Structure 1
Amino acid sequence: MSFTVTHIGTATLLLEVGSLRLLTDPAFDPPGRTYGFGWGTSSRRTSGPALPVERLGRIDAVLLSHDHHADNLDDAGRALLPQAPRVVTTRAGARRLGHPGAVGLRPFETTTVGDLRITATPARHGPPGSLPVAGHVVGFMLEGEALPGPVYISGDTVWFDGVAEVSRRFRVHTAFLHLGSVAFPLTGPLRYTFNAKEAVQAAQALAARCIIPVHYDGWTHFRQGPDEARKAFSQAGLADRVTWLTPGERTPLA
């Protein structure tokens, strides 16, 4: 069994599973630029990637939760996609990318990359009815002999019954949860990713042995940072299950 992760920034992770090297939601642009997120919303990148594209090495597949927001796929990330023989993403995203190796999945559809079984999981990137604004998103479940157990990557989602359904179908070992309580001035109190309270709810429902928060800094649309999540996990008695990654540092997981 061999499983390591390097947190490059926001939702960008380099997962090394046995001999396979997987990259999630590639965003490698430098900080300072403001990006439109649709319907009059925008966000500015405030920090750059902890690992430059030039140091990535071989990528066997990209797991792309969605292709239409720059904190999940920016210009530099899009430019590196041709280096990956496979891109696993939403059905709509696969059509838009035009990548010859793109595989579009609906929730609970599966594909394989090497010895890994990859299942798309439901994600809702906002409140009920937000699909026309936020677009299609998926998370991922990874299963294989090189892993300590099923590995869940939530993608950008709030808590809803689709996440609860994941907990009913899988015995999750490791859960990467996209936090940050994303919100925009234009849409007021509406949220588009887990806040700390929902992250606890998801962690408890999934009963994951290892909880890894990601997607909580580096952009101005985040409304909660790691401090709120640390407090919430601690109050819920989950602190001993949480692993906080140091950006750029290769971390073994077991």
Structure 2
Amino acid sequence: MSVLTLTHIGGPTTLLEVEGWRILTDPTFDAPGRTYRFGWGTSSRKLTGPAIPAADIGPIDAVLLTHDHHADNLDDAGRLLLPAAGAVVTTASGANRLGRGTVGLRPWDTTLLRAAGRPDITVTATPARHGPAGSRPVVGDVVGFALTWPGQEHGALWISGDTVLYDPLRTLPQRVAVGTAVLHLGRVGFPLTGPLAYTMSGADAVELVRLLRIPTVVPVHYEGWSHFRQGRASVLAALAEAPDVASRFRWTAAGEPLSLVV
């Protein structure tokens, strides 16, 4: 049995502490108020700052970066943390941009986190598509991450990354048994692209959790930026129609640790 302590810092940024490891996902620590350009006429304003300042995070053994090219997943203050991290794992294209020994993975590639006195953690990149069909050349590469280590009881710890619900996610159970999912939601959209969605909605989450039979879900990355179209209230509205799924969601206030048996 392992106990995972998960601290949602804001946006997608989450500190994962398990078996002596301290792992940070998608570091974003800039102050709120700035508008960031995402390219192709899209942008977003950061509305909420981190619950824990970068200076107070402490030592980080690894950073899991679902993608490096959007500031709501890696901002200026987050970039400053990367050189001190023990390992940085991201997309293959992102590793080329970041350099400095960054590990780049394509979907279903794996890498191993190793340290004396701690169990090895296998990190497997999982598929993600940050928008509608055909959008990858515009929005760029994204991956999720499945983490496994000896002693897990309920399956892999999965960070979905910024993705819509599409067929490779529906078939995820053929490759990975997910025990705990950190789901990026928010149904991102932009005025320029009208009704098109670039991340999952609450209804998508319901479908995915049922398909993957995920026992525990921690939602993140659904508030704090102007490009989100669905905040917590919208997700809760979808869950109200699916009590079997709602009971699996664990909501956590930013900055407050949540302990889970994984």
Length-normalised TM-score, structure 1: 0.97
Q: Which amino acid aligns with 1:116?
A: I
Q: Which amino acid aligns with 2:258?
A: T
Deviations 1:17-36 (A, max 9, x none): 11010000000000000000
Deviations 1:117-161 (A, max 9, x none): 110000000000001111000000010125443111100000001
Q: Which amino acid aligns with 2:19?
A: G
Hey, what does 1:250 align to over in structure 2?
Answer: 257
Hey, what does 1:106 align to over in structure 2?
Answer: 106
Contact 1:18/1:146, CA 8 A, preserved across alignment: no
1:165, 1:65 → 2: CA distance? 20
Instruction: Give 1:170 shift.
Output: 1.7
Deviations 1:197-253 (A, max 9, x none): 111111111111101111100100000001111121231121111100110011111
Task: Give the unaligned 5+ runs of structure 1.
Answer: none
Hey, what does 1:82 align to over in structure 2?
Answer: 83
Q: Which amino acid aligns with 1:249?
A: E
Does structure 1 residue 212 correspond to structure 2 residue 213?
no
Relative to 1, partners in 2 of residues 1:56 and 1:146: Cα closer, same or farther, differing over 3 Å?
A: farther
Instruction: Give 1:186 shift.
Output: 0.7
What SS does the aligned partner of 2:171 have? helix
2:173, 2:203 → 1: CA distance? 17
1:174, 1:209 → 2: CA distance? 6
What SS does the aligned partner of 1:241 have? coil
1:164, 1:118 → 2: CA distance? 20
Deviations 1:64-114 (A, max 9, x none): 0000000000000011100102111000000000122x1100101101112
Root-mean-square deviation (Å): 1.0
Question: Could you tell me which of 136, 140, 159 is aligned with 2:141?
Answer: 136
Task: Give the unaligned 5+ runs of structure 2.
Answer: 115-119
1:97, 1:211 → 2: CA distance? 31
Length-normalised TM-score, structure 2: 0.94
Contact 1:152/1:172, CA 8 A, preserved across alignment: yes
> What is the correspondence of 1:155-166 to structure 2 with a 5 Å cutoff?
155-166=161-172
Structure 1 residue runs of 4 or more that deviate by more than 2 Å after TM superposition: 145-149
Contact 1:3/1:147, CA 8 A, preserved across alignment: no
2:21, 2:151 → 1: CA distance? 10
**Deviating more after overlay: 47-56 vs 224-233:** 224-233
Hey, what does 2:117 align to over in structure 1?
Answer: none
Q: Percent identity?
A: 56
